[in-house]
Structure 1
Amino acid sequence: MKKTLSLFAISLAVATGAVRAEDMTDAEVRKVDKDAGKLTLKHGEIKNLDMPPMTMVFVVRDRAMLDKLKAGDKVKFKAVKDGGSYVVTEIQGTP
């Protein structure tokens, strides 16, 4: 039940635009694994997760996010911890 409420709260925040630009983290795409639904990002500090800059693999909430990405792309993203995985819930390309 707690997990369901958490996912609902995240979905609501994204749907209502409650995800602010300052909640997003800058990153560079290192690898896109469409089959596994995973994304390797070299990212800056992720404040909402209290995580320092590093390169790591994330699961994506929606595999369709991966269709527009390739290694080397500069992006801004939002991630949450869901169970034992770090999940990208929103991603935007940067100019």
Structure 2
Amino acid sequence: MQTKPATIHTTTLTRTSIATLAAGAIIALWLASAPVQAQQGHDAHHGHGAPAAAKDADAAQFAPSEGEVKRLDKAGKRVTIAHGPLENLGMPPMTMAFEVEDAAVVDALKVGDRIRFIAGKEGRRYTARDVEVVQ
């Protein structure tokens, strides 16, 4: 009698087993990130430790811009400024009118002054605040 050689059975991965492995990997990654997410949630809840991107966005929102006074409108409380890029508003250099909160700001300026200010946008209005003359 002749015997057959032993056969080796190989296991093939089925779609079900691949899906199970993938699901396990996703769950493992999610569990590994849970402590980080918990800390971020804790920090946000208490108002400190904001993520770096949020801090950068806040800093950019109040980044000062520079320009030159081109026109003053005391009655309208507007200052026309030839400004460089307004990083916080994503605007290129141009000349445009900005509203100021107080007419005293207009009184303190003269055409040709180099100024530093914080540009803002409220609805359709562009505003300038913290205006200061620079040398």
Q: TM-score, normalised by structure 1?
A: 0.74
Mapped pair 1:81 → 2:121? yes
Alignment identity in percent?
38
Superposed displacement of residue 23, structure 1: 1.2
Q: Which residue of 2 aligns with 1:8?
A: none
| Equivalent runs, 1:1-95 vs 2, <5 Å | 23-95=63-135
Give the structure, 1 or 2, with the largest relative contact order (CA under 8 Å, sep 6 or more): 1
Write the letter of the residue equivalent to 2:101: R
Greater share of helix residues, 1 or 2?
Answer: 2
Q: TM-score, normalised by structure 2?
A: 0.53
- Structure 2 residue runs of 5 or longer lacking an equivalent are 1-57
Alpha-carbon distance in structure 2 between the residues aligned to 1:23 and 1:91 = 12
Alpha-carbon distance in structure 2 between the residues aligned to 1:79 and 1:25 = 7
Write the letter of the residue equivalent to 2:124: G
- Structure 1 residue runs of 5 or longer lacking an equivalent are 1-17
Q: Which residue of 2 aligns with 1:6?
A: none
Q: 3-state DSSP class of the match of 2:112?
A: coil
| Number of aligned positions between the proteins | 77
Alpha-carbon distance in structure 1 between the residues aligned to 2:132 and 2:121 = 19
Computed over aligned residues only, the root mean square deviation of the Cα atoms, in angstroms, reads 2.0
Write the letter of the residue equivalent to 1:63: A
Runs of 4 or more off by more than 6 Å in structure 1? none
